[in-house]
Amino acid sequence: MTNKNLEVCLTPALLPLYDVENSIVVIIDIFRATSSICYGIENGAAGIIPVSHVEECAAYRPTFPDYLLAAERDGAVVAGFDFGNSPFSYTADKVDGKTIVLTTTNGTHALQLSIKAKKIVIGAFLNLTALCNWLKEQDSHLLLVCAGWKNKFNLEDTLFAGAVVSQLQGEGYKLDDAGIAAFDLFEAGKNNLGEYLKKTSHSERLKELGIEKDIAFCLNVDITTAIPILDGDRLVKLA
């Protein structure tokens, strides 16, 4: 395939502008959904079922009492659920062999809107290089979808998109303006991601939620190698 595109969709609200159906889509929600998904799949979760609504998540309880139900809204665990999207809820002792149903403010929303993609995989700093090595082997247009915050642009997801662009340099992709911007922002922040992201408003908000440890964890680079991929209704480990 020649003239492969590498595009960055800066928020899910812009997805209708892209050729999702002919692209491999990477879903990016660094704080914290896609970081936790990568960590959970790495730690042996059998599958993670992304759903859009809290009610859909709750509906699994009677039929699948052994599933773990995870629901996050506005950064907090929804009352009545096993957990939300803190990566520390996705350790091996909690998720190994388990199926998880997950709904989050932004990440699962972005995934559902991308559902017609050729393939959907999950990216985070945790699995950056493993993901990029796999992407390099694919002969396809690539679309990096930043989950953002309630359809607005956010810096952490864009920085990660820039990190992917950086690793895919020299692979002959045609980059759009958003990809160029993401790359340059990653270049500006890469030497200290945590420090760079401290100036964002989102970071302030997350700090108020008392999840600074989560944030620091989500900025670990290459501590996992599993690539979660959508297979039917669930994210599983790419074989």
Q: Please give the Cα distance from 98 to 83 (Å, whole number).
A: 14
Residue from 200, 205, 237, 238 touching a copy of itself (CB under 8 A): that is 200
- The least CB distance from residue 83 to a copy of itself, in Å, is 27
The smaller minimum CB distance to a copy of itself, of residues 34 and 127, is found at: 34
Site residues for a copy of itself, 137-156, by CB under 8 A, read 149-155
Residue from 22, 91, 192, 201 touching a copy of itself (CB under 8 A): that is 201
Kindly state the number of chain residues that form the binding site for a copy of itself, as judged by CB under 8 A.
28
- Tell me: does residue 190 bind a copy of itself (CB under 8 A): no
Q: Please give the Cα distance from 79 to 200 (Å, whole number).
A: 28
- Tell me: does residue 19 bind a copy of itself (CB under 8 A): no
- Tell me: does residue 188 bind a copy of itself (CB under 8 A): yes
Residue 37 one-letter amino acid: I
Interface segment toward a copy of itself; rule CB under 8 A; list 20-28, 51-59, 68-76, 178-186: 178-186
Q: If we measure between CA atoms, which residue out of 162, 236, 145 comes closest to residue 196?
A: 162
DSSP single-letter state for residue 149: B
- Tell me: does residue 79 bind a copy of itself (CB under 8 A): no
Q: Please give the Cα distance from 228 to 131 (Å, whole number).
A: 9
- The least CB distance from residue 175 to a copy of itself, in Å, is 8
Q: Please give the Cα distance from 20 to 119 (Å, whole number).
A: 10
Angle between helices 177-189 and 155-167 (to 10 degrees): 100
Cβ atoms 81, 70 nearer than 8 A: yes
The smaller minimum CB distance to a copy of itself, of residues 87 and 189, is found at: 189
Q: Tell me the two tokens of residue 204.
A: 């302030």
Cβ atoms 24, 139 nearer than 8 A: no
- Tell me: does residue 124 bind a copy of itself (CB under 8 A): no
Q: If we measure between CA atoms, which residue out of 80, 71, 79 comes closest to residue 105?
A: 71
The smaller minimum CB distance to a copy of itself, of residues 184 and 208, is found at: 184
- Tell me: does residue 25 bind a copy of itself (CB under 8 A): no
- Tell me: does residue 180 bind a copy of itself (CB under 8 A): yes
Cβ atoms 147, 34 nearer than 8 A: yes
Residues that bind a copy of itself (CB under 8 A): 10-11, 13-14, 17, 149-155, 158, 174-178, 180-181, 184-185, 187-188, 199-202
